[in-house]
Amino acid sequence: MSTVSSRTETASDADVQLWIRMYRQMAAIRMFEERVNELYTRAPMPGLADLYIGEEAVAVGVCDALNREDYITSTHRGHGHCLAKGASADRMFAELLGKASGYCKGKGGSMHIADPSTGNLGANAIVGGSVPIATGAAMARRYQESDGVVCCFAGDGAYANGVVLESLNWAAQAQWTNHFAGDKPYGLPVIFFIQNN
């Protein structure tokens, strides 16, 4: 006769603090996007704005696992990625409203926000446009022999694009020759993260 012991696992205080912090960040992104929607529909915001509502957990979960020196590339729905990687909401709003105090001096708008200081190489209005940028950034990282990875966010529709498939093929080569540093084989430090939009 065998007995099965029941064991109740409890979350550590560190786990609980992590969950609370991540929940707060997701809620902050949602509130930011709701405010963006309000500004967009009332028309004081120039240009377009594609919202990140409903995808907050993706950006927060991925960016929480990254270090500050790691890079991200983003999509036309990039507000959540920017905020999760450490951008400030006030400079984000300034950018969306075309103000000089924005991340790109008000010239990038909703779909082209970048913040190199937090490792955000930028959002991209071209479907799949972030993929070759991420591949190139990963290649530069490898060439410079620097630490860190590049995380590329892209929607599921981007993966039918020719340039995306070419970039994936390039990055997926298990080993390739670095012509600049002899015949040292290596792969690229890039993660392609597919979001279901």
| Secondary structure (3-state) at 189 | coil
Q: Are 51 and 96 in contact (CB under 8 A)?
A: no
pLDDT at 19: 95
pLDDT at 147: 85
| Helix, strand, coil share of the chain (percent; to 5) | 45, 10, 45
- 126-150 pLDDT, tens digit per residue, is 999 999 999 999 999 988 888 899 9
> Which DSSP string do the residues of 90-149 spell out, in sequence order?
HHHHHHHTT-TTSTTTTSS-TT---BGGGTB----SSTTTHHHHHHHHHHHHHHHT----
pLDDT of 53 above 80: yes
Q: How far apart are CA 126 and CA 155, in angstroms?
A: 11
Mean pLDDT score of the chain: 88
pTM, 2 dp:
0.85
Residue 96: both structure tokens together: 């969306």
pLDDT at 184: 52
pLDDT of 81 above 80: yes
Higher pLDDT, 154 or 181: 154
pLDDT at 174: 47
* 178-183 contact pairs (CB < 8 A, 24+): 178/142, 178/143, 180/143, 181/143
Higher pLDDT, 172 or 24: 24
Could you count the other beta carbons within 10 Å of the beta carbon of residue 160? Answer: 10
